């Protein structure tokens, strides 16, 4: 197998792209340095002082020796390059075997019960759209396989059916995806988005909620409103939205006139034009508002909307931003977050139907007592339990606004996959050449147990990411 591995694949991308020029530069530099060194030695020998010193016992020059030891070899990585390498998402690996009989998803496949337990490939245009929305994460192991594919779980089918049902009725599905570490919460969002893209929905995705609330993007107060906008992030979101939904948006025209934007958009102009009018961060929030209004226009043949957010706990607490009085701003006072929380709480009704999905996260997520309580309450209500968990009467970390938002959401708790589903996954891994073992019930059962009753990510860790093979 090692022979088929390409050693050059392991080289840093910057080294590859910059290679010819860099080598040239380095050669020139070395030549120049050599020349300079020569002249220096020449002058040194010429000076009478140095000749005298040659007779004396030589002084030890520690510094020079030390310096020689730490001379950097090659060029340091460019600013931001390390992060880009770390965050790089590789969706394909040509060293992986192509899987025979791998089906590509079709628009209705994710809602079919018969597909449960099978792995299906994502269509290419959907992959492009998902990449634009940043639905893929660097921690997910897409780079082991030839083609991005997903396992259809029972939960997936249930969720997609609910989404379709809500969209058909013109209602909004409001749902929180909850589960243990690496149990596939983000992937559940990705599957929902895949379904939405394939069925011509409009998808708005906030990939990392913490980017909104950890004070790492600019913010400014909105006029005549207690809210705060985040122009740079909004602009980025708009562009990602445009890129991902280009196919759907290109078919839509505006139904309202927008005069207060940086660029005047008359009625019945393409929606893409409206988005394009946000050239700079300053007008981005106004454009976003206009776009949101257009998308929610009634009786204009607008498609259903899927609004998703990953990392719910980050927007269910005080943000790290401060107001002029140097008090912390509540996350729900950020305009963009408020759009989402309004949708999630049901305060804003989507006239064309759709779904609002939020996934919690277990890595680097703050504790939000109210959110955890609300999720526990919703679960207890759904299970029709007699005892609904209540607030600890002496707990101080509760937040009324959070509980109000999550008053009527649904909760989808992800646990491990069943053994049948695990078998489908393992067969796919084996067919891709990543798991060199015979996939029978014994192996499935072993991996299922080792992964804590079929937690997908743990199964991946136990099977693919350990060196035992």
Residues 6+ apart with CB under 8 A from 74: 15, 22, 26
Task: Considering the complex, state which of residue 118 and residue 254 has its C-beta at the smaller distance from another protein.
Answer: 118
End-to-end CA distance of the chain: 13
Cα–Cα distance for residue pair 172/165, rounded to 1 Å: 9
Closest CA to 295 of 173, 201, 172: 201
In DSSP terms, which residues pair with 358 in a beta bridge?
176, 309
Query: Alpha-carbon distance 359 to 277, whole Å?
Result: 31
CA 111 vs. chain centroid, Å, equals 24
Residue choice 8, 56, 59, 64 for contact with another protein (CB under 8 A): 8
410 binds another protein (CB under 8 A): no
Please count the residues of this chain forming the interface with another protein, following the rule CB under 8 A: 61
Q: Is 124 in the site for another protein (CB under 8 A)?
A: yes
User: Of 411 and 430, which has the nearer Cβ to another protein?
Assistant: 430
Name which of 34 and 393 has its Cβ closer to another protein.
Answer: 393
Q: Which is nearer to another protein, 57 or 393 (CB)?
A: 393
CA atoms within 13 A on the CB side of 57: 1
Is 393 an interacting residue with respect to another protein (CB under 8 A)? yes
451 binds another protein per the rule CB under 8 A: yes
Q: Does 90 bind another protein (CB under 8 A)?
A: yes
Helix (H), strand (E) at residue 229: strand 228-229
Closest CA to 423 of 150, 141, 151: 151
43 near another protein, rule: CB under 8 A: no
- In the bound complex, what is the minimum distance in angstroms from residue 182's beta carbon to another protein? 9
Task: Determine the Cα–Cα distance for residues 450 and 419; give it in Å rounded to an integer.
Answer: 12
Query: Is residue 445 a contact point for another protein (CB under 8 A)?
Result: yes
Q: Does 139 bind another protein (CB under 8 A)?
A: no
134 torsion bin: left (phi>0), alpha (psi -120 to 50), beta (else): left
By CB under 8 A, residue 394 contacts another protein: yes
Residue 383 C-beta: closest distance to another protein, Å: 17
Extract the runs of DSSP E, i.e. beta strands, from 278-376. Answer: 305-310, 318-322, 328-330, 354-359
CB contact at 8 A, 383 and 130: no
Indicate which single residue of 111, 118, 147, 331 sits in contact with another protein (rule: CB under 8 A): 147
β-pairing, 103-104 vs 119-121, is parallel
Q: Verify binding: residue 440, another protein, rule CB under 8 A.
A: yes
Q: Give the one residue of 61, 63, 384, 438 binding another protein; rule: CB under 8 A.
A: 438
Smallest gap, in angstroms, from Cβ of residue 461 to another protein? Answer: 6
CB closer to another protein, 16 vs 347:
16
Footprint of another protein on 168-227 (CB under 8 A): 180
Helix pair angle (231-244, 335-345), 10° resolution? 60
Binding status of residue 77 toward another protein by CB under 8 A: no
Interacting span for another protein (CB under 8 A) from 90-98, 274-282, 299-307, 400-408 = 90-98
Q: What angle do CA 353, 118, 459 make, to 5 degrees?
A: 105
The binder of another protein chosen from 18, 22, 77, 91 (CB under 8 A): 91
Smallest gap from residue 17 Cβ to another protein (A): 8
DSSP tag of 256: S
Q: Which stretch binds another protein (CB under 8 A): 79-87, 197-205, 286-294, 344-352?
A: 79-87
Work out which of 148, 231, 283, 311 binds another protein, going by CB under 8 A: 148
Residue 13 in the binding site for another protein (CB under 8 A): yes
Contact between 429 and another protein (CB under 8 A)? yes
How far is residue 213's CA from residue 217's CA, in Å, rounded to a whole number?
Answer: 8
Least spacing, CB of residue 424 vs another protein, in Å: 10
| Cβ-count burial 57-94 (b if 16+ within 10 Å, e if not) | eeeeeeeeeeeeeeeeeeeeeeeeeeeeeeeeeebebe
H or E element in which residue 119 lies: strand 119-121
Select from 25-33, 268-276, 294-302, 454-462 the region that touches another protein (CB under 8 A): 454-462
Which position among 112, 243, 413, 437 is part of the footprint of another protein (CB under 8 A)? 437
Query: Which residues on neighbouring strands pair with residue 204, listed in sequence order?
Result: 307
Segment contacting another protein by CB under 8 A, of 164-172, 217-225, 297-305, 446-454: 446-454
Q: Which residues bind another protein (CB under 8 A)?
A: 1, 3-4, 6, 8-10, 13, 16, 84-85, 87-95, 97, 124, 127, 131, 134, 143, 146-148, 180, 393-394, 416, 423, 427, 429-431, 433-442, 445-446, 448-453, 455, 458, 461-462, 466
């Amino acid at each position: 197998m090692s022979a088929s591995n390409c050693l050059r694949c392991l080289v840093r991308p910057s080294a590859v792209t910059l290679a010819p020029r860099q080598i040239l530069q380095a050669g020139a530099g070395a030549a120049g340095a050599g020349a300079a060194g020569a002249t220096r030695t020449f002058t040194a020998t010429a000076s009478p002082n140095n000749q005298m010193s040659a007779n004396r016992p030589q002084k030890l020059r520690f510094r020079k020796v030390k310096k020689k030891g730490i001379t950097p070899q090659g060029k340091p990585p460019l600013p931001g390059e390390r992060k880009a390498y770390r965050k790089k998402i590789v969706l394909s690996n040509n060293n992986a075997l192509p899987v025979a009989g791998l089906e590509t998803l079709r628009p209705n496949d994710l809602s079919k019960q018969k597909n449960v337990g099978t792995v299906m490939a994502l269509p290419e245009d959907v992959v492009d759209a998902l990449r634009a929305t940043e639905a893929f994460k660097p921690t997910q192991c897409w780079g082991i396989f030839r083609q991005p594919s997903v396992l259809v779980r029972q939960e997936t089918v249930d969720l997609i059916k609910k989404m379709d049902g809500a969209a058909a009725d013109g209602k909004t599905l409001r749902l929180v995806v909850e589960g243990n570490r690496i149990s596939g919460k983000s992937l559940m969002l990705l599957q929902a988005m895949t379904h939405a893209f394939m069925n011509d929905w409009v998808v708005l995705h906030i990939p990392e909620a913490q980017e909104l609330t950890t004070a790492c993007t600019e913010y400014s107060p909105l006029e005549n409103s207690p809210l705060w906008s985040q122009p740079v992030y909004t602009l980025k979101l708009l562009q990602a939205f445009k890129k991902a939904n280009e196919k759907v948006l290109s078919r839509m025209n505006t139904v309202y006139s927008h005069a207060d934007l940086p660029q005047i958009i008359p009625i019945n102009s393409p929606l893409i034009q409206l988005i394009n009018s946000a050239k700079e961060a300053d007008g981005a929030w106004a454009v976003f508002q206009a776009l949101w209004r257009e998308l929610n226009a009634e009786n204009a043949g607008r498609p259903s909307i899927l609004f998703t957010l990953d990392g719910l706990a980050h927007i269910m607490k005080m943000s790290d931003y401060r107001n002029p009085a140097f008090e912390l701003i509540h996350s729900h006072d950020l305009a963009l977050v408020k759009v989402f929380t309004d949708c999630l709480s049901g305060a804003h009704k989507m006239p064309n139907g759709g779904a609002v999905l939020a996934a919690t996260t277990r890595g680097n997520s703050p504790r939000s007592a109210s959110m955890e309580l609300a999720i526990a309450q919703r679960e207890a209500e759904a299970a029709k339990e007699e005892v609904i968990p209540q607030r600890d009467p002496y707990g101080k970390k509760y937040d009324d606004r959070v509980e109000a938002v999550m008053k009527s959401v649904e909760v989808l708790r992800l646990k491990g996959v069943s053994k049948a589903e695990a078998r489908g996954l393992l067969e796919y891994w084996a067919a891709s050449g990543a798991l060199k073992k015979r996939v029978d019930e014994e192996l499935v059962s072993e991996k299922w147990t080792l992964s804590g009753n079929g937690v997908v990510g743990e199964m991946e860790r136990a099977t693919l990411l350990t060196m035992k093979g």
